[in-house]
Amino acid sequence: MRLLLALCALFLAPFASAQPRHGGVFAFAGSGGDCQGLYATTRQVLAYAQPLAVGNPVRRVEAGRRIGPSDVAEELNVVIRPGRFVARRNVTFDEWSFYDRDRQGSGPLQIPRGMSIEVFGQDLWRMNGVVYQTLWAIPATRAGVDADVRRDFTTESFPQVEHWLRLAARGGQPAAWLNASGPGVRRTGDAPNTGEGC
């Protein structure tokens, strides 16, 4: 039995390490947009081994610290609570993809009238347990709701998302995850040359 458990652990280890353990219902990589952000701490903040503020912190980040692209090894958006939209009519997407890049889709994708979807991020959502990406119509914030969205959906809630930065190991300090959307950290702008429109 021990041998079987050891073999299972070896087989599953690569899949478990593909994404760090987090405290949300879903997580997706990246800055959450085209532009990589610049950040600064307003007070001393703690950073952790995983993008999850539990346990002992592995690093303290001093007050007044500027954090730019060269400080960040990875970014992760952790969805604590998804938003909820309900289709007011049949909504069809011609341009869409599965979030799982190993799956291929073709033809129009339809959200039937009355169907509830979970919104994770801008144009990133789940229906019937499957995560999709579309090019328009699914905003992640109230500011993105326009007349077309109001025509297609009843917006019941928006997602609650934490944006985590994995600070690179540097100067004797270990690599650690910092909650950039938490208290003591503020976004100060966009890094130049990190995306269209930045």
Q: What is the pLDDT of residue 31?
A: 74
Q: What is the pLDDT of residue 30?
A: 84
Amino acid at 58: V
Q: What is the dihedral of CA 138, 143, 146, 151, to 10 degrees?
A: 60
Residue (of 73, 152, 75) closest to 121 by Cα position: 75
Q: Around Cβ 121, how many Cβ atoms within 10 Å?
A: 22
Q: What is the pLDDT of residue 87?
A: 98
Q: What is the pLDDT of residue 193?
A: 65
Q: What is the pLDDT of residue 130?
A: 96
Q: Mean pLDDT of residues grouped by 10 in the chain (198 residues)?
A: 33 45 90 79 96 89 95 95 98 94 90 98 96 92 95 97 95 95 94 66
The helix/strand/coil state of 8 is: helix
b/e sequence 93-114, b meaning 16+ C-beta within 10 Å: beebeeeeeeeeeeeebebeee
Instruction: Read off the pTM.
Output: 0.83
Q: Around Cβ 54, how many Cβ atoms within 10 Å?
A: 10
